[in-house]
Structure formats: C-alpha cells, structure tokens
Structure 1
Amino acid sequence: MKRYAGFIALGLLSLAALWFAQEKPSPSRPSNDWTMYPPTAPAGSPPSDNARRDEGGRSVPRGAGFDFYVLSLSWSPAFCASSEGSGNRQQCGSDRRYGFVVHGLWPQNENGYPEFCRSSEPDRVPDAIGRSLFDIMPSMGLIGHQWRKHGSCSGLSQKDYFATTRAAFEAIRLPGTIGSGAGATTLSAEAIETSFTDANPGLSKRGVSISCDGRRLEEVRICLNRDLTFRDCPELDRRGCRASATEIVPIR
C-alpha cells in the first residue's frame, strides 16, 4: 500500500510541475507589453519632428534638403487687376471671388534657394491632385509651375508636397480686416505685417515680408520651419516692401 502511495505522490508532483511551467512567462517574451509597443504619448506632448500634425490630426510630411519654407500668399484681386492676371479665367473669371490664395510653398536656404531640382516625380501634376487645390490655389498652370520650380526641391512626392502646401496655408490665420476684401483699403506695409503678427501668435515681423506691385499689395510671405512652425528669416525680411501707403484692392 505504501508503494502505491509513493507512486501517487510522485504523479501529483509531476502534474504540479507541469502546471507551473505552463503558467510561468517564457523568459524570451517580455513580461510588459510596453517593452514592445511604446505607450501613447501623454496628452499635450509635442509631436515628434517626423510626425507633425495638421488641423485635422493628419501627419504632415517633412521635406528635406533645404533650411525652411516661404509660404507666399498672393492677394488675388491685385493679380486679377494686372495685365498678367486679366486673362486667367480659372482664377479671375467673373464668378471667382478669391482673396488670399497660395502663390507657392518655396523651399529656402539661409542664403538663396534651390529651384528646378531633379526629381523622380513627373513634371506634370495630375488633374486629380491639382483640382483638389483649387480652393486655395486656383490655376493648373500655377500649380504645375510651382511643382517644377519649387516642389521638386522639397524632397517630397507631388502628393506630399501639395498636402504640405495645404497644411501650411491652414496653419495661417488671415486677418479679417484685410482678408475679407470688403472694400478698398490703404495701409502701410508695416501695418499689414502687424495685422498678420497680431492674428498669429508666435509670428514676428522678422518672419513676414510684404511684396508690393507699385502702390498695391501684391503678396504676403511668411517663413516656416520644415515642421510648419514660425521662424524668422532676415534675408527675406530685408527685401520686403516698406511703402507707407499700400492699396489693398477689394474683392469684386
């Protein structure tokens, strides 16, 4: 009887050892999930340089091969009143009532800028990309030229470059007193810069430059880091318009 009891005890010990081995975590497998899958960053933490987000929460592609961007915003009524714009039906037709539109998003260096770079992308911008931008960049001719001269130097695909262009435009708050274009207004170039810096916390007058066509406001140019945060750009600022009286053509 004692012999059978010994066999039974040995069997119970074997079963206990087998059960313990199955329950114990494997030494080759991490005991905490976060060692393989990092936790979500705490709310309010700044995004990494490679994962900036636009207003819709989408990742903004990050360009390479240059120092910063210049976002050039053209005052469309002034362009349409010029000899160059008068024949542009896409932007200046009788049913078009644009205010500030994107002239371009230009890769820039501290001194000078690259242009017409070699790219694996085609020269022509497909209609599917171009026409999706018409609310902020209303001309296929303009879109194609901007890609060939500037976008090709961004280190981005056409799709990512124009997605970044839209994100840059949406990052800027247009001052209502100017952007509405409700009536003819005359302001100094400095006052126009002030209206933009007041509307955009973090933007300084050293990071915005006014371009004039004679006495008319032509463009507002804003300098952005590659992650689309504001920055100063002394070279561009020095070349800006300093007119004491700048006419802002109304939207008609």
Structure 2
Amino acid sequence: MNVRKVNFKDNAPLIRQYYESNRITVDSFWEDHVIKSNHYQIISNHDVIGFFAIFEKMTLTLFHVFDQHAQLGCHLFQLVKRYEQITNAFVPTGDEFFLSHCLDHFMRIEKQAYFSIYRDEPLDSDRQIDLELIRILTETDTELLSLAGDFFDEDAADRILNGSDYFQVYKVAHNGEIVGFGVIELGRVIKNIASIGMFVMEDKRQKGYAANILKILQRHVESKGYQAISGCWYYNHNSLKSMESAGAYSKTRLLRVYF
C-alpha cells in the first residue's frame, strides 16, 4: 500500500461522487479550502482505494476510504496524520466516515460554521419586498463593492472583471436606492450546489431586505438546476437569523478538530 500525490482534478470525480451520493452538505468556503489543498490518492495493488487532502500543510480537509477497504480506515488514518505537518482537520458533520476517524483522535474541537439548506416555500406576502438585482460586470460597478466594507475579498473585483463563471455579484436596489449586494458562487467541487449570500447596508438592516435577497437568489439558482446552500461563521448569529428568516435551516456544521 502506498500514497500518490495528485492534482485536484485527479481526485475531483472521486470527491464529487462520494459527497453527492451521501448528500453531504458543504458550501463555497469548504470548496475554497479543498481546491487549494494538496491532494493524495491511497493505492493498493495499483488500485485507488481512497483519497485525502491537506490545506496549507497542517489542516486535513478530506479523508475517505472506499467501502471495499473501509475496514482499513483506522490504520490508514494513522498513516495519513503523519503527512506534511497535520495538526487538525476541517470536517463537515455530514461526512460520517471522516468525522468518526477524527473523533478517534481529537484533543479539542472548535465550531467553525453553519451550512444551511433552503425549504421550498415563499416568504409570507406581507414580508415580500420588490427588489431589483443587477449583476455587477463593469469596472465602474465594481467600485460599489467598497460600500460593503470588508465583506468582499480583495480579489473580488478582479474575479468579476476577469469573467469568472462561478462567482457572481449583484447590486440590490429598492426604489432606485442601493440597499445591499447578493452573491452566488456556483459549485466547483460539488457541481449541483450554488452557495448564496448577501450583504445589507448597515442603515437598511432589520427591515427584511436580507431574507428577500436570499429568497430571490434561491429561486434564481434553483431555476438553473442548482441546490441553494448558505454558510456562515458559527458565531455570526445575525447571519444565521437572516438565513432562517429566508426559509433555510442548518443541516450541517463545519468543525475544526485538533489532534
């Protein structure tokens, strides 16, 4: 038995099949870490029997052994932990195999994020607001992103102007006035999901805009065949409330498990 370092593209079909068949809920934050990880395959008699990935040398982001060899999981996890400089793992609670092996070795656990899915139901009619969402595509429009403070990453404008297929940002207006932004990130690892998020101007909060933006984005991505997912930092209670008010519920947590 040995380990072979590979590219993300080599492991992508294996990751996708495992996560989609087991209906494991993840979002774009998780995908960012997986894509940027170093990827490995576990080989036995020239056959791939599993895979794992490591983010920035210290964080295990994936670990799976196929069913035919799953009884080797505990032994292989011990070996994998010796690769690079692993001290911890990022693991969604929906990944039962990965989580169980992490729990065998944990020293402490930190709660990182909520991953939420959306119910198929509209907002009550008295809560619905007529909003206009316009996709940001030009350099002039990207200057509006500064209105959101540090909500957007530094490279957000570059990704928009470079024609990113998966990253979409919308300015949101009500009666001609910008009230916030909507964000869609199409799945790059799990192809049938779309992560949706929003930002509402500080003076426009607690007026129902957040729920309406999320609901519009949900309907938009679902019309394209994607499942809408939202994630937020575990301790961002306002974001969680906004997602819940839009009909979402948190099915999964993202944990950081220290060994």
What TM-score bracket applies, with the shorter chain setting the length? under 0.3
The structure having more radius of gyration, on CA atoms, is: 1
Normalising by the residue count of structure 2, what TM-score does the alignment of the two structures yield? Answer: 0.25
More strand by share: 2
Normalising by the residue count of structure 1, what TM-score does the alignment of the two structures yield? Answer: 0.25
